[in-house]
Structure 1
């Protein structure tokens, strides 16, 4: 009898170990109620890391007596792009990130890793290229890996996606706020030019001939949205310049990004066709005035939580929507959400005791972050598909304002509850 029980135990143990483990839910994976355009596209996804340098930039953090030295500004980029998977390859990559804040002794940096569905350093699939470019700009603080659910998803749909580590604004190197105020739009424009250079047909490297920078979209979250809107015409106000000078001890460097600056209009790059701005910061603080918002003329998708306590809703994000009267714009609102309507779900590392602040940097109290991710994948796919690829996705955006009143195209029955969509044309 003992031998029989031992045999049965060993047999069960063998069968159990032989079964494949349940696949982990990774950022960007689909919930059962994900809307129609949320799934990944036809391409496998590759990822590579690039380091570039923007020379001779204003070092606003070392301003003295109103004068700032210059420095060569380093930027780290993460690039996702279409690839072909060879037999035996699995789309799996491990990203390295940190919790904490570099400038806060009470929140020391704690390394952690998380997985994504991409192949590190894979050979590009050039059969469908060149591909439109999407530049992604994180919040303050943040990192180039904050929205991997979306960056991987877009690459699988035939885009080259470049996310920026904004120097002095990441978890690892967080420094004074003036650097972020000045450099966000400048970083975006420099990276666009760098991608044009690196993707020229005569260039060396994996990007050669792969990118169509004449079809570029910007995605910005929080301070990334602040910078992206400035890139496409929302010149900063005199009040913003005054605030910047107070923070820096007299620097006027931000003046070059105001509506009245002689070179500001000349900096508007026609290669940028559309912007997605998640919870853009600044309007509630007077960063823009009515005149500044008049400069917005390109299509914009704003995404907000109705209870945003960082950027503000009625006097913040919705006020941008109301004031951008020269733009074809949408405002997607997550009712009762706060500021975190863009990032990946909270990493497993934040679920341990002592990491509440880091957990709340990713989480939404009234919403499932994975569900927000799927909804964002759906609407960003529709919006960029229209403006960068000419796809017929209008029905997914032109929906009734209140999702509780009528079903939305692309959503399963009863699943668009809690959402609002506004649309206004010039």
Structure 2
């Protein structure tokens, strides 16, 4: 008897239903939480030995330029509120689990096509747990999200690094989050300023003798800054890559005459010196090079060891003339560039939440997190692995060099620390600072 087969469209529909019902490819399940290792996770992706606590803190950066109210080149000052989430090594009482529920939203404020929709997801940390007073102090990491985003965008990474002996602080950048997104020029002006402010505040409250729960926890002489997209734009400036005069001119036009961003340009004598306590920089898909945010002179100001991460099909920040051009131009920094082949821009965030799979939602809710050619959980594990190595070398003086001294093309041979046959589709470039 002649065999008949279902129409391809029917097979596709069946597979899609199975995918949505199972939620196993991307979303959290009862057993999988963002950041958990897949069976082929590389060696250093595994969580560290410390239990993790998490808490929210509030800061106010006083007397900042309120660029959203700028008129005719002048702007009033305001006290800029900033919420941060802090993950840290914790001392957990018996019976207390590393389990937390994060409250997040999908959508974008003031966007009729993507209205705000609350959702929750789980993490492996204990809310408001007692900090571990032994074995410290711990290096400080500041994390800056994209536009738009939130402090919860990379919990797979923040929790993982805290478990390895870091105090990790992720910023909600006011006027740049899902909940309060506003005009882009606020992000252009405030991103680097927010990072510098929170870095100084956290280093200060972490000192011994301060009346704060984190007092004595923070090694303020060993600091790393991590940014994604507009966060990458910000951390590079904080680390010495002064913006171009072209960006300053564009900003002045955009704001009707304000020159508030000029203090962050390489040509301005007031452009700050790099905080010498910053020993490492991580830039995921940093935005701006294709738009003239930096010129070659500005990139030469980056001297801190830097680890870039990109997709070679990035259609937001650009690759050859964007991220890779930054990597090539930062000649005074010892630097790496990890590239995911066929990936676009989302090489940093958590996997898509299960709510993003719901019928009728704008596709951007899913593609705020997902990569079309990669399992985001795989990317998460690889990021955990390489940042553990890079940050461990520069902030903890660990001998992780073998994980970075590998074949450039991952298809040619298995990379050190990866399970056999699992390190495909990636490239790792390395360039030393010029003498």
Within 5 Å, give how 1:357-376 maps onto structure 2: 357-376=364-383
2:136 — aligned with what?
A: 129
Cα distance in 1 for residues equivalent to 2:181 and 2:67: 14
The answer for the alignment partner of 1:301 in structure 2 is: 307
Match of 2:295 among 276, 282, 289: 289
Matched, 1:339 2:345: yes
Q: CA deviation at 1:66?
A: 0.6
Residue deviations 1:363-412 (CA, integer Å, cap 9, x gap): 00000000000000000100000000000001111211101012211001
Q: More deviation in 397-406 or 47-56?
A: 397-406
Task: Give the one of 167, 170, 173 matched to 2:180.
Answer: 173
Are 1:213 and 2:190 counterparts?
A: no
Aligned to 1:70: 77
Aligned: 1:311 with 2:317 = yes
Instruction: Give me the whole-angstrom Cα distance separating, in 2, the residues matched to 1:204 and 1:112.
Output: 35
Q: Where in structure 2 are the equivalents of 1:45-56 lying within 5 Å?
A: 45-56=52-63
Q: How does 1:10-409 map to 2 (within 5 A)?
A: 23-266=30-273, 268-355=274-361, 356-409=363-416
TM-score (norm 2): 0.92
Q: Distance in 2 between matches of 1:253 and 1:96?
A: 34
Query: What per-residue deviation string (whole Å, max 9, x for no partner) do you get for residues 320-362 of structure 1?
Result: 0110011100000000000000000001111111222111110
Asked if 2 retains the 8 angstrom alpha-carbon contact of 1:118 and 1:152, the reply is: yes
Match of 2:432 in 1: 425
Deviation at 1:204, TM superposition (A): 1.4
Cα separation, 1, equivalents of 2:158 and 2:252:
35
**Using the alignment, how far apart are the partners of 1:295 and 1:156 within structure 2?**
33
Structure 1 contact 46–82 (Cα < 8 Å) conserved: yes
Q: Secondary structure at the match of 1:45?
A: strand
Query: Which residue is equivalent to 1:19?
Result: none
Do the aligned residues in 1 keep the contact of 2:48 with 2:163 (CA within 8 Å)?
yes
Q: 1:246: how far off?
A: 1.6
Q: Distance in 1 between matches of 2:268 and 2:110?
A: 33
Secondary structure of the residue aligned to 1:230 is: helix
- Contact 1:222/1:278 (8 A) holds in 2: yes
Asked whether the equivalents of residues 306 and 336 of structure 1 are also in contact (C-alpha less than 8 Å), the reply is yes
Q: CA deviation at 1:23?
A: 4.1
5+ residue gaps, structure 1, are: 1-21
Displacement of 1:84 in angstroms is 2.4
Deviations 1:128-165 (A, max 9, x none): 11100000000000000000000000000000000000
Unaligned runs of 5+ in 2: 1-28
Shift in Å, 1:265? 3.9
Give a deviation string over 1:212-236, Cα, whole Å, max 9, x none: 1110000100000000000011100
- Conserved 8 A contact 1:46-1:119: yes
Q: What CA distance in whole angstroms lies between the structure 1 residues aligned with 2:272 and 2:413?
A: 42
Task: Report if the CA contact (8 A) 2:245-2:267 is conserved.
Answer: no
